[in-house]
Each structure stands twice: as C-alpha cells, then as structure tokens.
Structure 1
Amino acid sequence: MTALRPHAEDQYSDELALLAATDDRIRPPGWRLSPQAVVTYLLGDGAKITPKYVGPRRLIEVAVATLATDRALLLLGVPGTAKTWVSEHLAAAISGDSKLLVQGTAGTAEEAIRYGWNYARLLAEGPTEDALVASPIMRAMRGGTIARLEELTRVPSDVQDALITILSEKTLPVPELNTEIQAQRGFNLIATANDRDRGVNELSSALRRRFNTVVLPMPASAEEEVEIVARRVAQLGASLDLPAVPTALEEIRRVVTVFRELRTGLTEDGRTKLKSPTGTLSTAEAISVITNGMALAAHFGDGTMRPADVAAGILGAVVKDPLSDGVVWREYLETVVRERPDWLDFYRAARDA
C-alpha cells in the first residue's frame, strides 16, 4: 500500500539525509539540522534541494530562529497561505517527525493538549503511569521534539490556557500521579491560526506573550503565485498518478489572474475596480481548481486542459454565497472577462458553467 499523502519526513527523506550529511554548522540541542540547513530545506538551494515554500527568506529565518529559543512559534495568515505546510516541514527538518499534531476545533478538550486516561485501566488500577494517555504535546516534551497545534484560535479559550504552563515553565503537572513532565531540550511548539478566525476564540494576553508571531503573506506577485501553483500541482499530479497536462501553465496563469483580481478588487492593469467575493480565493484553492481540471482533461478529455476544465472549479471557488457572490462573479464575467479577446473561450465556458 502506498500512502496518498506521505509525511514530509518520508516524502523528502533523501533531501533531509543529504542536508544532514553535509551540514557542519552548529545544531541546537535535539535538532537534526542546523538552523541554516533548515532554511535551505524550506527554500531550496537551486540544485538538489527543492523549495517547499516560496516567499520572503527573512520570514522563514525568523521562524527557525524562534524555534531555537524558548519562545513558541505562531504562524498567522489568511487561509491558503501555507501555514500548515510550513509547520509540517519545519517539524520534519528539525525533529524528523511532523506527526505530533493536535488538530484544533471548537470541540478540542483539554486532554488533547495535556493528557487523558485509559478509563478501563483507570477503573481497574486507579491512576497509574500505564493508565495515562499522553497527548502529542506531552510526547514531544518527553522526546525533546517539535509539537504542532493547528487552528489555535478555534480551540476554546479555557483549553488554550492549558498551554501557558507548558510554554512558560516547560513543565506539565500530573497531579493525579503527584509528578510532572519536564520538557527535554529541543522541545518547542508550532501553532497556526488564520486571520479570518480572529475573534472566534481570541488568545489571552498571557498566552500571546508565549508566542513569537510570524505572518505568512499571500504571494507578492502573479509570477510567484503561478510558480507556487505549478510546482504544487505537479507534485499532486504525480502522487495521484494523473497524466501530465502540457498546456496546464496557460490555465494556471488564467486561474491565478482571476483569483488575484477578485481578491484585490482591481484588474491587473489597475483600470477597473471590482467587487470582491466573500471567499478568500487563496493559492491553495487555485491549486485545487487546477488539479481538478487536470483530472477532467486526463480522464474525460484528450489530455489537453481547456478553459471548460477549470471554469466549473473557479465558479465553485468564487461563489460561496449564491446571492452576493453570484452577482460579483457575473459582473466580473461581463465587465472584465468578456472584454479580453484571448479569453473568449473561457468566457463561454464560465457562462455555461
């Protein structure tokens, strides 16, 4: 059996091994690579190490430097800015294990952050070490590795505050056993939160002080976003055994252009102001639209991706609210897309969709 989506440390094991073998810089306690090598792993070296993130180098340097201190790292940004992706690759490069993960939701309980109990053993034996069920964060503390917490602002506020002692004292009290877990050197936490969730469960000032926040921006230019989408689509296509679509780049540029114009509320030439839909139209959504278009072209077409293969996907990404977003999309089609001579096929496909 082959995993549909291998963990970063498995998918890029050869690159991590190569960096480890040639890395002669100082490594913080518990780290498998030096901070410089971790940055190279994330951004690539133009040769044997492929880029995992395309964006400002300084942001990644600040993130890596933070994890080498006693401050936890909070990756903040709108949906689709690769927060989870960066978090996973940082953990893989630093600890060789990105699987110590807590997924934050409105129903996340304190046990997911601290520890729980095997209730069958608890009833039979009482509170014992064997009856205790360690959380991913407790396991990271014991092993001196990186733990990850996704969507921190979705976690209820009282559960969030369970992190305060862990991050400030680097200990996790277990009063039932009259003991505590002390974090080993190398332990740290990477949390993610998205800008759109600000106010869902605001972080307390005490907890916010325990984090160094790095904001991951949307791609700065259209070319940068096209590069990101093209690279990620190629990776996904290979993992899903989708045939290569030679004309995909043209449609990638079109999808990126549509998303960026609607996201910013302005056409590329700066001449026409546009209404923006309620959705984020993120890079991640662009990747999804193109991947779906590749599947349509490969399995239900002749292998050439055409506007009709991406039109329905774009419609689904843009129109989240049928009333308000539907108006935005129709106005964009009639005032912008229709006026571009080389976009007439896309205009017809989008109208049909």
Structure 2
Amino acid sequence: MTSTTHAGPTTAAGTAEVLRPHAEDAFAGELAALAAQDDRPRPERWRLSPWAVATYLLGGALPDGTVISPKYVGPRRIVEVAVTTLATDRALLLLGVPGTAKTWVSEHLAAAVSGDSTLLVQGTAGTPEEAVRYGWNYAQLLAHGPSRDALVPSPVMRAMADGKVARVEELTRIPADVQDSLITILSEKTLPVPELGGETQAVRGFNLIATANDRDRGVNELSSALRRRFNTVVLPLPASMEDEVDIVTRRVRQLGRSLDLPDLPDGAEEIRRVVTVFRELRDGVTADGRTKVKSPTGTLSTAEAISVVTSGIALAAHFGDGVLRSGDVAAGILGAVVRDPAGDRVVWQEYLESVVRERDGWKDFYRACREVS
C-alpha cells in the first residue's frame, strides 16, 4: 500500500527543484484547503481535526469541490485508529511487512497533524542514544562547559518542546538500550537533562509515531515496558488485485512526474502482469486458486512492484519506443524475485514454466522473462 494521487501534488513555492518534497510541501494545497473548511474540534496544536487528518490520508471531496487525493489505500478503520491514537497519551506503532507504506503513512500523519514531517530519527543498528535524547556541541562544551547553548536537541526533544509529532523509523533495528530511552519520554512526557540539572517537558500536541518491520522480529525486540507505551496498528498488504493495481498505477504516475518521465500509453497491461506475478508468488497460489506455487525468500511488496514498473517506464522512455512492454519489466521482476541465487532461481524457473508459459496472452512476457533469466 502506498501513496496515490489523482491530479498530482501541489508543490510549494521553492520546492520545484527538490527531488522529493516533504509531504507538507508536496500537498500544501490540499492541507490548506482542508484547514480552511475544517470546522470540527482540533486537539491543541493540531493543524487539522482528526476527521480532516483521516480525510487527507484516505481522500475525498470537500464541500467546495476540492478533491483530496488518497495517500493510503486500505481499510478506513485502520487510519481512524491511528489518528485517534495520536490524540491520546499513547504513542503509535505502525507494524507490517516491508512495502506496506508504514513510512509513507507516518510521514503524512505528521504532516497533517503538525505541519512538519521532518522530526525524524532513522533507526539502524548503529543509532546512538543521542539521536533519541540529545547530544552536545563539543566546541561549546569544551569552551564553556555544559549549557543550553552547547546542547544539541534530538528530533524527539524538539517535538516535545514544540508540541509536534516525532517519527522513529525502524524502531526494532535500534539497539535495545537505546530503545528504552523512550520509556521515560512516553510515560512521563519528560526528558531529563541531568548535566544541566533540568529537563524538557512535552507540551500539548506532542506524540510519537514509530514504524517496525514484522520480519525483523528477533533483531531487537521491544521490551514489554516500551511496548505498553504504544498502540500498535498493523498495516496489511492490499486486499485485492484491483486495489494493488490501482496503488501501483497512481504511485508510478506520481514518481514519473517527479523524475520527468513521459506519460506512457498502454502500460496498464504490464502493470497488471507485474502485480499478478508478485501476488501469486507472495500468496503461493495462482489467482484462480487452481495451482500452488512456491514462494521466494523476498517480500515482493507493493513498493517493489512500483520500483519495477518505474524502472520499466524509464527503459521504455529512454531506450525503447515509448510504450511499456514486457521486456522493460522482465529484468526488474527477476531482480525482485531472485534474492537467493540458488533457491529463488529454482522457484522462478518453476513458476515461469508451470504458470506463465501456459497462460493465454502472456507469450511475450514469457519470452522476455526467459531471455533475462
């Protein structure tokens, strides 16, 4: 599940040359239209009401005719629970397999609630405690000793002081002792600064959104004390073929515009093929339910399908005849499916010969995949 747009985002002044504007800049027009017509109660320091935040993510039409493009395609209740959580004292944990738009949803929630999606901590195995709490300007520290001027606030600390939403990506990739530095922040809504004999207290409007990949279980599991501070919302894969095709088509169109790729005609058939292949290999059964197939080690997510199609469009535009064809997506599919050269290659060859080869109207696709395989 990923972002979608109908007529493209409204780019804020000064961001025309930016490769990827922040959500609050890219969709500034929609956010402004929602704010102007939003007469529902808003939690303190929220830019929009919870209802308007949900409308921003799910899309809809405003009373004045303004069309809000959907940023997330999925169950409405999931979005409503996520938005409602941010209006309480519980933090929000978005959990799901890779490619289910956790980061995208996190960014757009922060943009709609706080007007600022940049208060971000990127979780890795090397993320230090300073990234979550605070650090020091060592030149100032050596020259003048511990002081507020020498303190370098983390994105979380800044969000607490300003009453905004902070974001922590890939929480379970962060070492456990660094994760647990969030416990006091989320439970007491304060961040002690013992070096200065003080603290930073969170003001109204502060909350935190974390994302986690459920395939990372066992990497750095959340402690029970930290998990209790979160309300967990699981983002599922697209429920139907049509939903996933729609998501891929819309997101590819948006990415194509940002990369100055031409709009290609007649690409719908290849997009549907890519999504079909990904879903069948992911589910372990063909779309008609008649043939079981082996699944490869990769996730084959919607995000990967978007990448395959976008790369195919670039190939067709720059090295083809301007029409997206099977040969333009075949190499991308192979790269997405065959992550383990030994086991995945066998899975792919069996799928090609037992499913793709026998499917009506897929001869060109079969030949293209055979050539790159």
| TM-score after normalising by structure 2 | 0.94
Aligned partner of 2:291: which letter? T
For 2:21, the equivalent position in structure 1 comes to: 6
Tell me the alpha carbon deviations over residues 147-180 of structure 1, each in whole angstroms, 9 at most, x when there is no partner: 0000000000000000000000000000000000
**CA distance in structure 2 between the aligned counterparts of 1:323 and 1:37, rounded to whole angstroms:** 50
Aligned CA RMSD, in angstroms, stands at 0.6
* Residue identity in the other structure for 1:31: W
CA deviation map 1:96-139 (0-9, x unaligned): 00000000000000000000000111011100000000000000
**1 CA distance for matches of 2:95 and 2:270?**
30
CA distance in 2, matches of 1:93, 1:250: 35
Alignment partner of 1:341: what SS? coil
Cα deviation, 1:26-63, whole Å, max 9, x if unaligned, reads: 00011000000000000000551000000000000000
- Secondary structure of 1:172's counterpart equals strand
Unaligned runs of 5+ in 1: none
Amino acid at match of 1:322: P
Partner residue, 1:25 = 40
Deviation at 1:293, TM superposition (A): 0.3
Aligned to 2:94: 75
Aligned pairs for 1:28-67 within 5 A = 28-46=43-61, 48-67=67-86
Q: Which residue of 2 aligns with 1:303?
A: 322
Structure-2 separation of matches of 1:247 and 1:127: 63
CA-to-partner distance for each residue in 1:40-90, whole Å, 9 max, x for gaps? 000000551000000000000000000000000000000000000000000
- Secondary structure of the 2:47 match is coil
Q: How does 1:175-190 map to 2 (within 5 A)?
A: 175-190=194-209
List gaps (5 residues or longer) in structure 2. Answer: 1-15
Equivalent position to 2:171, from 144, 147, 152: 152
Equivalent runs, 1:116-265 vs 2, <5 Å:
116-265=135-284
The aligned residue for residue 6 of structure 2 is: none
1:346 equivalent to 2:365? Answer yes
**Equivalent position SS for 1:213:** strand
Tell me the SS of whatever aligns to 2:298: coil
- Residues in 2 aligned to 1:27 and 1:338: alpha-carbon distance in whole angstroms: 56
SS in 1 for 2:249: helix
Segment drifting more, 42-51 vs 77-86? 42-51
Structure 1 CA distance, aligned partners of 2:164 and 2:200?
A: 14
Q: CA deviation at 1:198?
A: 1.0
Q: 1: CA distance between counterparts of 2:107 and 2:166?
A: 10
Task: Confirm or deny that 1:111 pairs with 2:104.
Answer: no
Cα distance in 2 for partners of 1:129, 1:180 equals 11
Identity %: 78
Residue 199 of structure 2 aligns to a residue whose secondary structure is strand
Structure 1 ranges of 4+ moved more than 6 A: none
Q: Render the CA deviation track for 1:225-277: whole Å, top value 9, x for unaligned.
A: 00100010000000000001111111110000000000000001111111000
Question: Secondary structure of the residue that 2:60 maps to in structure 1?
Answer: coil
Residue from 287, 296, 300 that aligns with 1:268: 287
CA distance in structure 2 between the partners assigned to 1:199 and 1:193 by the alignment: 12
Instruction: Name the CA distance, whole Å, in 2 between partners of 1:229 and 1:102.
Output: 28
Whether 1:87 aligns to 2:106 is: yes
Q: Secondary structure at the match of 1:339?
A: coil
| Partner Cα distance (1:48, 1:305) in 2 | 29
2:46 partner letter = W
Q: Distance in 2 between matches of 1:301 and 1:20?
A: 45
Report how far residue 341 of structure 1 moved: 2.4
1:199 positional shift: 1.0
State how far apart, in whole Å, the 2-side matches of 1:62 and 1:252 are.
32
User: How far did residue 5 of structure 1 move?
Assistant: 0.5
Counterpart of 1:314 in 2: which secondary structure? Answer: helix
Aligned residue pairs total: 353
Query: Normalising by the residue count of structure 1, what TM-score does the alignment of the two structures yield?
Result: 0.99
Q: Secondary structure at the match of 1:90?
A: helix
Equivalent residue letter for 2:181:
A
Q: Which amino acid aligns with 1:88?
A: E
